[in-house]
Structure 1
């Protein structure tokens, strides 16, 4: 798996402790070259409506999403399922 070609988005907001946990699970992947954009849903009405009660949500450019809760193993399986 070529992790340097993975570009993901984490939908989050300030003060979200679950988002901090998700980011901690992502950290090993970030060290392997996965790029991550953090998007604060509080700054966008549409994102707030879509993700307000679901964050953190990890999204791939192709539209695949992984919503919380997820484990390190589930994250790994999801990442491996993404087209590269």
Structure 2
């Protein structure tokens, strides 16, 4: 399992933007979790996606930029 998880949903243009930004920033490998079919995740992240979560439980809410993502990764 990766140190990072990106919570997202299907057909989410903000999630697409976050994915592009993370790729451009050469962010470390992360897992993607879609919240659409999980009631608990939907309740927690429904209005916040995309959300980047680190294994220590810290979360970075959108909008974030490359500098914020890089700082979050260190």
CA RMSD of aligned residues (A): 1.3
Q: Return 19-28 or 44-53, whichever deviates more.
A: 19-28
Cα distance, 1:75 vs. partner?
Answer: 1.1
Q: Is it true that 1:8 corresponds to 2:8 in the alignment?
A: no
TM-score normalized by structure 1?
0.78
Q: Which runs of 5+ in 2 are unaligned?
A: none
Alignment of 1:8-27 (within 5 A): 8-27=4-23
Instruction: Give the greater-gyration-radius structure (CA).
Output: 1
Alignment of 1:1-84 (within 5 A): 7-27=3-23, 28-30=25-27, 34-80=28-74
Cα distance between partner residues in 2 of 1:68 and 1:22: 8
Cα distance between partner residues in 2 of 1:52 and 1:65: 14
Alignment length, in residue pairs? 72
Higher percent of residues as helix: 1
Q: Which runs of 5+ in 1 are unaligned?
A: 1-5
Cα distance between partner residues in 1 of 2:32 and 2:17: 14
TM-score normalized by structure 2?
0.88
